[in-house]
Structure 1
Amino acid sequence: MIYLKTDEEIELLRESNLLVAKTLGEVAKLIKPGVTTLELDKRAEEFIRDHDAIPGFLNYQGFPNSLCTSVNEQVVHGIPNKKPLKEGDIVSVDCGVLKNEFYGDSAYTFGVGQLSPEVEDLLKTTKEALYKGIENAVAGKRLGDIGYAVQRHSEAKGYSVVREMVGHGVGKNLHESPEVPNYGRRGYGVLLKPGMVIAIEPMINLGKRNIVQESDGWTIRTIDKMVSAHFEHTVAVGKNEADILSSFKFVEEVLTLQS
């Protein structure tokens, strides 16, 4: 069942997603060699609660933390821990909040210190692929158009697309129908309509697309242990263009100041 949101509900979703965006901006201020992902998690939880919201991931189906922090070959659902980040690492930070009964959900992959050119290019391409997908989140197109756009852009650069993990609808539940794959055929899949709100989240690997779940029951990593990048926006399908409800503005303001 796909729930179409009213204009009022979309504004509540925007509020939740902008809080996620601001939380990621706070996290961005802390990321450097020597910091632990548990420290990032603690700051995120404090910031979310200070803004009268609840961390959306904490205790969700038993997940133990407020952020998913996935380092290097970890694709998604990494559990924050006390291991310090190192120069040249990448860390995907996925954040969710629940505010006014609606969820926000967004992710950004950060470089820690200086990255190698090939990893830098992976991050750039994954983020570009996200926006290629968003360009197709328009009424009258189909889900396959989004996946096709993400897949085509990523594979043209020689990267591979994770298939088992997908985007999803967002609303009063963190994960709603429909599923939003990062691969697909143009003109196939669910018809996109105004009022649909979906999380588009490319997970793109430097090596092969195959993944495995680690023994903690959560963390997904690449089988070949090559790095993976992950960027995510929550968007409302529009008549002429998608309405991006989350934002990377706060993250990018911090990164610009640091560079």
Structure 2
Amino acid sequence: MVEIKTPEQIAKMREAGLVVAAVHRATREAAVPGATTRDLDQVARKVLAEHGAKPNFLGYGGFPATICTSVNDVVVHGIPDDETVLKDGDLISIDAGAIIDGWHGDAAFTAFVGSGHAPELVELSRVTEESMWAGIAAMKLGNRLVDVSRAIETYIRRQPKPGGGKYGIIEDYGGHGIGTAMHMEPHLLNYVERRRGKGPKLVPGFCLAIEPMVSLGSPRTEVLEDEWTVETIDHSWSSHWEHSVALTAEGPLVLTAEDGGKAKLAAMGITAAPDPLG
């Protein structure tokens, strides 16, 4: 069952989404050479507390931290600790969530630590982020879930990879429904798998966490002994971007973007839904 939200419920999710945006802003600033990933986790905890929000990762299935900090060849679910010290040139994806009055927000971004990053890493992050926005743009009334998957995959496949070859679209993880829980139906693939069919039709109140994960090499991953950390099987570096999005009668609203996605969608010729919080 797909949980369809009322406008009032979407407004609550927008509140949670803005807290996630604040966590992103603070952790991005804190992701500097010499910082540990636990330092970033502490920053996130402080921001959540200041906003009266609960973390939705802490304790989820036994996850021991507030945010996920995935460095270099770690795709997702990296556990913050004191041993992982960020270095100049590292790539880190930070996945954060918040709960307000039982409603969830969830988003991730990739950041560059320090300076002097290789052009192929800059391009990797750009391609991943832009594929997410292609998926968001496909959240149109009358479209189906597969149209979002197709938009993400098509964008990635059309991008030339520096040095040749193809980008790896991570196969074992994808986006998801979101609302009264962080992970809900439907599961959103970042590529089209025809045997799954077209999926549900997108209607007002449909909410998705759209999150492409892309590597410089293999699309395959493995889970480490901590039972959380996911690495690419060939240790190629990866990028992860995510936004929670609500489809309304007036268009998409990017719940976890500070401006609701207005500027980015306008550049794509799409009018974002009005912000229910003004």
What is the TM-score normalised by the length of structure 1? 0.93
Closer, same or farther: CA 171–58 of 1 in aligned 2, 3 Å:
same
Q: Within 5 Å, which residues of 2 pair with 1:159-238?
A: 159-184=167-192, 188-238=198-248
The aligned length equals 250
Retained in 2: the 8 A contact 1:168–1:177? yes
Shift of 1:248: 5.9
* CA deviations over 1:202-242 (Å, ceiling 9, x no partner): 00111110111111100111001001100000001234632
Q: Give unpaired runs (5+ residues) of structure 2.
A: 160-165, 260-278
Partner of 2:90: 89
For residues 137-193 of structure 1, what are the alpha-carbon distances to aligned partners after superposition, in whole Å with 9 as ceiling and x for unaligned? Answer: 112101111111111111222312112101111111111111111111698222111
Please list, as runs of the form range in 1=range in 2, the aligned pairs for 1:1-259 lying within 5 A after superposition: 1-82=1-82, 83-114=84-115, 115-157=117-159, 158-184=166-192, 188-239=198-249, 241-247=251-257
Q: Residue 112 and residue 248 in structure 1: after superposition, are their counterparts in 2 closer, same or farther (change >3 A)?
A: farther
SS of equivalent residue, structure 2 residue 251: coil
Give distance in 2, aligned partners of 1:156 and 1:137. 20
Task: Report Cα offsets for 1:42-66 as digits up to 9, x if no partner.
Answer: 1101110121111111111100000
Change (3 A) 1:204 1:195: same
Quick one: distance in 1 between partners of 2:69 and 2:237?
14
Q: Percent identity?
A: 39
1:85-129: CA deviations, max 9, x gaps? 111111000001111110110000101112110000000110000
Match of 1:256 in 2: none
Tell me if structure 1 keeps the 8 A contact 2:78–2:229: yes
Tell me, in whole angstroms, the C-alpha distance in 2 between the residues paired with 1:139 and 1:221.
Answer: 36
Distance, in Å, in 1 between the alignment partners of 2:170 and 2:249 is 29
Using structure 2 for the length normalisation, give the TM-score. 0.87
